[in-house]
Structure 1
Amino acid sequence: MITSLQLSAFISGLFIMALVVSVVLISERKDGISAMFYSVSGLAFISGFWLIGATILAITLAVRAWLLYRQQGRKVLAIRGGLLLAQLLLLGLALAFTLHSAWLAMVPLALQMMAFMELDSDDDEQVLFDQSRNEFDDHTFPVISWSQAVMEYNQWRDDNPSQVAMIMIQVEGYEQLNRLLGQEFGELILMQSLARINQYAQQPSVLNLQRNKNKNPEVFQVSPLCFGLLVEIEPQSHSHEQLARQIADSIHKPFNSRQGVIELTSRIALTKAIAKQTPLDDLVQQTFKTIEFNPSERVCVYNAELEQMAKAHRQQLKELTTVSFDSDFELYFQPVVATPGNKIMYVELLLRWRHPERGVIDAREFIQDLREVGRGYKLAFYVLERAAEMAMALKLDGLNIPVSINLFGEEILHDEFVDFAERMLREHSLKGGDLIIECPLPVFMSLDDGLLSLLTRLRQVGIHLCLDGLGDTPLFLAKFPRVNLDYVKVDPTLTAEVDYTSGNKALLNGLIDMHRFLKAKVICQGIESQAQLSYVKEFSIDGVQGFLFTHPLRSDGVLGWARQWQHKLQKQEMPY
């Protein structure tokens, strides 16, 4: 049986321990004052000094009532009001009944626990406030944190039946600016872009998610380079679409700098819903789906069909986790033809997926998903080995034709991949240049010094390198002196139409002459007509590729096709 003395000793120990904790918290500049006073009050009650304990409680409650009055947040106001009522109720019970001092000490003990709970809540609020600055290092960006946006939006939508539209802005090109021009300059450009967006956020229909409503509205941060605005709209209104286009135009305005004219790009997604029925998380998920399934549109709008596309995408990811490279994938080839002479410069291997329901699927439709499920690395090894086998077969047949593959992403650039490539050359009796790796322009743009050194190692072991997509962006020119290339493919958009205007010819001439100076062979791809072929030949290029010569063919027929091509050349016939 617990005696009153034992209970008093136990509770006194709790109060003393809490008092020490409160003092430590105060020394760390945290709000532990109320908990300290509750501890002192409880010790006074246990010691029999009821009047002193009640006075300390009353003063503490008065101070907290004043703090409650100062609090502006509606939900926080309700929580603190409930705590205050609970404290008054417990104090009333303590004064209304004649209880042993140990039992009376239960009242400040309960109040003290509430104070510590409230202290945790205040800490959480402080964390949210700290996060509201931004997620970019220690710099202050004009954005609202995701946590604050969720809290303010939920408070607004509780009693609001209106429709709300979300504008999600995904900034692109920031990482490239960091690599090429430095982090400080990149952050300056990003801040200027955010300032431009926030100018458009001053419209009355844009929700102000600031804690202090006297401050101007700002975008909130969804992820490091994704930002959002919420707009209250009327039914059948399209004002949010107009605002999205204005923001897109503002981001694409160029910035003048010492390094030249610089610009970021953006992709913007729109969605709308009934605010009371739709959490902010749902709006964000809809905008991400919109961007994912509309890769070529600068401003795109969410629709219900995207849910079916997302379901199909999830199914494709599931299938790719178990797909067999040997039985489900197939390799095709397409030649690169030398000019002049029409000799085969090399053949490019193209990956296809023989799907049981959807037929033959181009690699561009699934390669990113294959990387997403973690199988891109193994696929690179598989395709490189098949390319080595094909190059050896061509050589044994008396056809000295190199074979190229595409590098799908920078994640496969490891020492193990370089070692494997060297082993493939050795085991298949291939010499330097018999295997070629084509790197899409975005892969080159994303390489740091370590990955560039791996590309150098690849070239040293005998793998030749080809840039695929020259002309996609002029920023790449700053990296060319650091990369030794053997081949360069001009982006098809530059030769899609025959354009003899001086501006277009000057652009092509400049790009081609620069790489010829760097001793790289220049190839124009996407050639589908004789007129295009005649046009690009005027630039003294080294090779061409396109449907004019052949559509992609199955790789198991490459020997027969190559023999026929060579036979026609020997007979001085047109091989295509």
Structure 2
Amino acid sequence: MLAQSSTWFTSFLSSTAHSVSLFDPLAIGGIATAGMMLCIVTKEVLLKGLHATLCTIACLLLLSNVPMAMFMLAIVFAIYLAYSFSFSVSVSWVSKLVAGSICIYVIFLSGYLLFQWPVNFAALGLFPIYFGLLYATWLESQMKPQADSTKNKSFGNELGIPNRASLRLAYEEQRRLDPGPAILVVVFLEGIEQVNIHLGREFGDTLLAESANRIQQQLNNRDIFPIPNGNSVSRLAHLGGLHFAFVCRLGRFEYLHEQLIDDVLLCIAKPFHVGSCTLEISARASYVNCDEELGQFDSLIACGYLALDKLPKQSMCAYQQQMQISQVELQARLRELANIKIEEELEIFFQPAFSQQSGKIAYLELLLRWQHPKLGLLNAESFIEDIRLAGLALPVARFVIERAAELAMALKMEELQVPLNINIFGQEMLQQDFLSFMDHILLEHYLQAGEILLEFPAQLFIDVEQQTLSRIEQLRQLGVHIGIDGFGQTPIQLNRLSELQVDFIKLSAQLTAQPQPDGAQAIFKSLVAMQQQRGLQVICEGIESNAQLEFAKQLECDAVQGHYLAQPMSSKGVMGWLQQWQAKDND
């Protein structure tokens, strides 16, 4: 059957041999036309020359109509096959088209050798190639403006350096070429936000650009990943905002990243001259091993951000997996707090402070506890920051203050004159809404001046603004006594302390911890005396041992508080304890 089909096809070609003379000009003309159109569409000069040369050779071989032409055409097909692989992935079908055309050519070459088919039939293999290349070249010319636009977006940056998308591409390419040890470094600039606020964004933008330029000057090491930036190469990328990043290999120098970070931090610490102003800012940096998080770029950047957030007081932060674990745990706690029933799950405990001179109760401090469904009763230190992050600081503070006001009324009815001291979370408590709430609570429960004490964390007073002073004064005018908690734990300039119109300070437990270095007692005693001369009461908190109690007595503090003196009591037991204490005191 196959022999009969081959004989029929051969006889068919032989019968059409007389029409070859008509086929020749059509084939040559078609190829010449397609070749010229391909030269017109192609923009590169070298490719224009290649197409013109191959088209001319093909036409001359077909015109010669000699046996050698059939074999010489193989060179043309081979060149076009190699050229087809240069097209982008979106038109990768070109190489398959050329391969199919070569198969057609091989069929006609076999027919020529076995059955003396006409040479010019090889043109049937060239037609798909020329018209396919013509269509593919046109497609690429249409897609190029879009690609250029995407490239510009990728590389374009108002600072003139690559952005995050560019760094991602460079990182993936370099890691593919060399998967050896490498470190991703994230740099954060501190202080530019204040420049924007006080001097204007124009100064801040100029400062940001000069900072980026200084950092780039420190990154001339060839072990830092190069990042394409238009027609040049950069080694620094702008992640957005005040964050920058670069990646360095550790193949030659194990601690190269630390040296580079030191250089960057030092260069940023030098004064900047912007306009007529001399400005100073600082920088912090975190670094992440590129083998972390399976080497995924976006995950590594997130780890760099996380290290900066977890270690806000360190200038150089190394990412550790424990940070990710604690972050996951934090997110779980925040989800739990989002559904918390404040009045049912939060409890109030009470701890007394005692006057050093009289031994009487100076005040009762309210301590917040969380009856966690899984972990049991938690101290405030383990979740108080989570309360703020969950946006519950104000609702929880209102809950505690309302309970304090109710207890204050109950104490007055029992003729027990004991002030109540409440820890306040921070800056959000100095809003006008909170001041109005305090005014309402004091009036509703008939509370007099000095019956409610509010203590604010010391870090709130590091950078005291006029608005803060004004709000504190408004609270004092309502009859609320204001104190500073954790004094000595957070650095507060003593010359600024005189600006704070407060009623008492609580010395941090670190100041009374034993043993103390030589000379510490004299320094602390003079500090206590200076505050007492200003009319403030000084309280030592965190007394856990008799040695600490004796040290507090030597400092001549006004009051002391701690577990060594009295354990925190629940709301059910505090009234009975107070009545027993009152009876004992009367005796």
Which of 404, 411, 417 does residue 400 from structure 1 map onto? 417
Q: Residues 82 and 308 (structure 1 numbering): CA distance in 2 closer, same or farther, change over 3 Å? A: closer
Matched, 1:117 2:131: no
Distance of 2:368 and 2:194 partners within structure 1:
29
Corresponding residue number in structure 2 for 1:493:
510
Code of the aligned partner of 2:538: V
Per-residue deviation, 1:419: 0.9
Q: Residues 410 and 275 (structure 1 numbering): CA distance in 2 closer, same or farther, change over 3 Å? A: closer
Corresponding residue number in structure 2 for 1:559:
575
Contact kept? 1:488, 1:520, Cα under 8 Å: yes
Corresponding residue number in structure 2 for 1:434:
451
Per-residue deviation, 1:385: 0.8
Contact kept? 2:162, 2:229, Cα under 8 Å: no
Which of 550, 561, 564 does residue 566 from structure 2 map onto? 550
Matched, 1:414 2:431: yes
SS of the equivalent of 1:61 reads: coil
Per-residue deviation, 1:360: 1.2
Distance of 1:183 and 1:437 partners within structure 2:
38
Distance of 1:346 and 1:188 partners within structure 2:
54
SS of the equivalent of 1:432 reads: coil
Contact kept? 1:196, 1:250, Cα under 8 Å: no
Q: Residues 223 and 122 (structure 1 numbering): CA distance in 2 closer, same or farther, change over 3 Å? A: closer
Corresponding residue number in structure 2 for 1:239:
255
Contact kept? 2:442, 2:448, Cα under 8 Å: yes
Describe the superposition over 1:393-425 as per-residue Cα deviations: whole angstroms up to 9, x where unpaired: 222222222212222132343222111111111
Distance of 2:585 and 2:209 partners within structure 1:
60
Distance of 1:494 and 1:252 partners within structure 2:
35
SS of the equivalent of 2:157 reads: helix
Per-residue deviation, 1:310: 3.6
Distance of 1:499 and 1:191 partners within structure 2:
48
Contact kept? 1:132, 1:148, Cα under 8 Å: no
Distance of 2:412 and 2:456 partners within structure 1:
25
Corresponding residue number in structure 1 for 2:156:
129
Q: Residues 549 and 221 (structure 1 numbering): CA distance in 2 closer, same or farther, change over 3 Å? A: farther
SS of the equivalent of 2:172 reads: helix
Which of 294, 298, 304 does residue 281 from structure 1 map onto? 298
Code of the aligned partner of 1:311: V
Code of the aligned partner of 1:364: E
Per-residue deviation, 1:119: 5.6
Per-residue deviation, 1:464: 1.9
Per-residue deviation, 1:389: 1.4
Which of 388, 402, 416 does residue 371 from structure 1 map onto? 388
Describe the superposition over 1:37-72 as per-residue Cα deviations: whole angstroms up to 9, x where unpaired: xxxxxxxxxxxxxxxxx99x969935999xxxxxxx
Number of matched pairs? 482
Code of the aligned partner of 1:117: Q
Deviates more, 1:347-356 or 1:454-463: 454-463
Corresponding residue number in structure 2 for 1:361:
378
Code of the aligned partner of 1:545: Q
Distance of 2:198 and 2:458 partners within structure 1:
15
Matched, 1:149 2:149: no
Per-residue deviation, 1:327: 1.6
Per-residue deviation, 1:556: 2.9
Contact kept? 1:202, 1:216, Cα under 8 Å: no
SS of the equivalent of 1:158 reads: helix
SS of the equivalent of 2:470 reads: helix
Describe the superposition over 1:126-172 as per-residue Cα deviations: whole angstroms up to 9, x where unpaired: xx533446xxxxxxxxx975444334323322322113223445677
Contact kept? 2:156, 2:162, Cα under 8 Å: no
Distance of 1:569 and 1:229 partners within structure 2:
69
Contact kept? 2:487, 2:508, Cα under 8 Å: yes
Contact kept? 1:413, 1:454, Cα under 8 Å: yes
Q: Residues 217 and 500 (structure 1 numbering): CA distance in 2 closer, same or farther, change over 3 Å? A: same
Q: Which has the larger radius of gyration?
A: 2
Matched, 1:515 2:531: yes
Deviates more, 1:476-485 or 1:517-526: 476-485
Q: Residues 568 and 265 (structure 1 numbering): CA distance in 2 closer, same or farther, change over 3 Å? A: farther
Matched, 1:158 2:176: yes
Q: Residues 179 and 488 (structure 1 numbering): CA distance in 2 closer, same or farther, change over 3 Å? A: farther
SS of the equivalent of 1:231 reads: strand
SS of the equivalent of 1:230 reads: strand
Give the alignment of 1:53-132 within 5 angstroms: 61=43, 114=143, 116-118=145-147, 120-121=149-150, 123-125=152-154, 128-132=155-159
Q: Residues 62 and 179 (structure 1 numbering): CA distance in 2 closer, same or farther, change over 3 Å? A: closer
Contact kept? 1:345, 1:402, Cα under 8 Å: yes
Contact kept? 1:61, 1:84, Cα under 8 Å: no
Distance of 1:394 and 1:201 partners within structure 2:
68
Distance of 1:211 and 1:419 partners within structure 2:
56
Per-residue deviation, 1:348: 1.6
Deviates more, 1:474-483 or 1:192-201: 192-201
Distance of 1:60 and 1:301 partners within structure 2:
53
SS of the equivalent of 1:462 reads: coil
Distance of 1:448 and 1:64 partners within structure 2:
69
Per-residue deviation, 1:499: 2.7
SS of the equivalent of 2:415 reads: coil
Q: Residues 185 and 425 (structure 1 numbering): CA distance in 2 closer, same or farther, change over 3 Å? A: farther
Give the alignment of 1:301-340 within 5 angstroms: 301-340=318-357
Per-residue deviation, 1:281: 1.5
Give the alignment of 1:208-287 within 5 angstroms: 208-209=226-227, 211=229, 217-218=235-236, 224=241, 228-234=245-251, 239=255, 243=259, 269-274=286-291, 277-287=294-304
Describe the superposition over 1:176-233 as per-residue Cα deviations: whole angstroms up to 9, x where unpaired: 8999999999999999999998787565544455749988855x55565655453323
Code of the aligned partner of 1:467: I
Deviates more, 1:558-567 or 1:173-182: 173-182
Q: Residues 520 and 296 (structure 1 numbering): CA distance in 2 closer, same or farther, change over 3 Å? A: same
Code of the aligned partner of 2:333: Q
Q: Residues 269 and 561 (structure 1 numbering): CA distance in 2 closer, same or farther, change over 3 Å? A: farther
Contact kept? 2:334, 2:390, Cα under 8 Å: yes
Q: Residues 197 and 122 (structure 1 numbering): CA distance in 2 closer, same or farther, change over 3 Å? A: closer
Per-residue deviation, 1:364: 2.3
Contact kept? 1:330, 1:353, Cα under 8 Å: yes
Q: Residues 182 and 311 (structure 1 numbering): CA distance in 2 closer, same or farther, change over 3 Å? A: same
Per-residue deviation, 1:366: 1.9
Per-residue deviation, 1:539: 3.2
TM-score (norm 2): 0.65
- In the alignment, structure 1 segments of 5+ residues that lack a partner are 1-53, 66-77, 98-103, 134-142, 256-261, 572-576
SS of the equivalent of 2:368 reads: strand
SS of the equivalent of 1:438 reads: strand
Q: Residues 217 and 118 (structure 1 numbering): CA distance in 2 closer, same or farther, change over 3 Å? A: closer
Distance of 2:283 and 2:562 partners within structure 1:
30
Contact kept? 1:161, 1:274, Cα under 8 Å: no
Contact kept? 1:162, 1:275, Cα under 8 Å: no
Distance of 2:264 and 2:506 partners within structure 1:
31
Contact kept? 1:132, 1:145, Cα under 8 Å: no
SS of the equivalent of 2:535 reads: coil
TM-score (norm 1): 0.66
Distance of 1:149 and 1:494 partners within structure 2:
48
Contact kept? 1:132, 1:146, Cα under 8 Å: no
Instruction: Name the % identity.
Output: 28
SS of the equivalent of 1:340 reads: coil
